[in-house]
Amino acid sequence: MNEQQKKIRAMLADRKGILLVHYYARPEIQEIADVLGDSLALAQAAARSDARVIVFAGVHFMAQSAAMLSPEKIVLLPRLDAGCPLADMAGPDAVRKMRQDHPDAVFVTYINSTAEVKAESDICCTSSNALKIIQALPPSKKAVMLPDGNLARHAAAATGREIIAWEGCCPIHQALTGEDVAARRREHPRAVFAAHPECRPEVLALADFVGSTSAILRFARETKAMEIIIGTEKGILTQLAKENPEKTFIPASDALFCDDMKKISLDDIERSLTTMQPVITVPRQVSEAAKKALDKMLAVS
Ligand code: 13P
């Protein structure tokens, strides 16, 4: 640990705080995490923790979810501009309108969404529990999944259920093409390919494994393959390399880099713990409804 990392750990101890870090965050922040995890693990950690302060090294919707799951805690997001373009692809008015068009459908909302959209939903999901949540719905029910169309199509194909897809996407995963994957496979003919379900259907069709960030980490530990092409944001390579020093990980494309997930630096965390700002809060009316959808997800997970 360098001096600044030590200082941040001491400040966290002093404020009874914990640092929750997503696998896509900068390596020097991953190193000092209390919990390093995928979206689901971080939401579960926020709900269970008895800390007084949660510092989130992720993006805005993750900190919002933590604030709703732990309303008694102070939730800090060191950079307010760390957003998620996918989350911004669905707004509450459009979701209300779609509910009118599909009055009998269950609205399953990806955690990569705003609190206002979660508040219009029946249940949330992440990429690690989406299939389980769809399978737990009554068989006669059709589902609307939002805002990630690729995740919705993957869930429909994997479960055989009727799912209406909202046409949003993560621009980072969407940028990965089948041609990129084919090129990497030509360069590394013995490699297997693991992809996140936010990738396009043509990319998922080429994958040896499809799963969330934590599922990709599990796959990488368990596979006998020594070379693995990775179809998700490059930040995950830090943990993949740490857990599997003998294996080689190849990003499926150089474009798999999320600026938003890399915004928060050690300086930002130190400043945030000094000023105890910016605090993420959600208006009570919104959070009451949105938390119900999050709680239902956690109950099924
Ligand atoms: P995970 O649930 O796999 O952590 O997905 C995070 C995410 O935001 C993908 O873009």
- List, as one string, the DSSP characters of 97-118: HHHHHSTTSEEEEESSS-HHHH
Instruction: Report the atom number in ligand 1 closest to the C-alpha of 172.
Output: 10
| Ligand 1 centroid – CA 261 distance (Å) | 11
| Ligand 1 centroid – CA 104 distance (Å) | 28
CA–CA gap between residue 4 and residue 50 (Å, rounded): 25
Sign of CA dihedral 93, 127, 122, 70: negative
In this structure, the answer to whether residues 196 and 214 fall within a common structural domain is yes
| Ligand 1 centroid – CA 14 distance (Å) | 31
Residue 301: the pLDDT is 82
Nearest CA to ligand 1 atom 7: 39
Q: Which residues of the chain have pLDDT under 50?
A: none
Instruction: Report the atom number in ligand 1 closest to the C-alpha of 42.
Output: 4
Which of 42, 133, 196, 200 best tests ligand 1's pocket when mutated (most atoms within 8 Å of CB)? 196
In this structure, the answer to whether residues 135 and 188 fall within a common structural domain is no
In this structure, the answer to whether residues 244 and 180 fall within a common structural domain is yes
The verdict on residue 122 lying in a domain is: yes
Domain boundary among 170, 185, 209: 170
| Ligand 1 centroid – CA 82 distance (Å) | 15
In this structure, the answer to whether residues 145 and 182 fall within a common structural domain is no
In this structure, the answer to whether residues 107 and 154 fall within a common structural domain is yes
Contact 221, 194 (CB under 8 A): no
The verdict on residue 298 lying in a domain is: no
Nearest residue to 109 (alpha-carbon basis) of 61, 75, 70, 63: 61
Nearest residue to 108 (alpha-carbon basis) of 124, 92, 86: 124
In this structure, the answer to whether residues 155 and 102 fall within a common structural domain is yes
The verdict on residue 117 lying in a domain is: yes
The verdict on residue 295 lying in a domain is: no
The verdict on residue 23 lying in a domain is: yes
Domain boundary among 155, 170, 185: 170
Instruction: Report the atom number in ligand 1 closest to the C-alpha of 23.
Output: 4
CA–CA gap between residue 147 and residue 164 (Å, rounded): 11
35 Cβ neighbours under 8 A, 6+ residues apart: 18, 19, 20, 21, 41, 42, 45
Residue 244: the pLDDT is 98
Residue 24: the pLDDT is 98
In this structure, the answer to whether residues 193 and 218 fall within a common structural domain is yes
Domain boundary among 142, 170, 198: 170
Residue 2: the pLDDT is 98
Pocket lined around ligand 1, Cβ cut-off 6 Å: 38-39, 112, 126-128, 170, 198, 212-213
Question: 266-301 burial, b for 16+ CB within 10 Å, e for fewer?
Answer: bebbbebbeeeeeebebeeebbebbbbbbebbbeeb
In this structure, the answer to whether residues 36 and 99 fall within a common structural domain is no
Beta bridge partners of 249: 228
In this structure, the answer to whether residues 183 and 165 fall within a common structural domain is no
The verdict on residue 299 lying in a domain is: no
Q: Which domain holds residue 34?
A: 3-83+261-281
Instruction: Report the atom number in ligand 1 closest to the C-alpha of 22.
Output: 4
In this structure, the answer to whether residues 65 and 104 fall within a common structural domain is no
Question: What digits encode the pLDDT tens for the residues 57-91?
Answer: 999 999 999 999 999 999 999 999 999 999 999 99
Question: What digits encode the pLDDT tens for the residues 144-161?
Answer: 999 999 999 999 999 999
Q: What total number of domains does the chain contain?
A: 3
| CATH assignment at residue 250 | 3.40.50.10800
The verdict on residue 291 lying in a domain is: no
Instruction: Report the atom number in ligand 1 closest to the C-alpha of 258.
Output: 10
| Ligand 1 centroid – CA 210 distance (Å) | 13
Nearest CA to ligand 1 atom 2: 39
CA–CA gap between residue 181 and residue 230 (Å, rounded): 9
The verdict on residue 123 lying in a domain is: yes
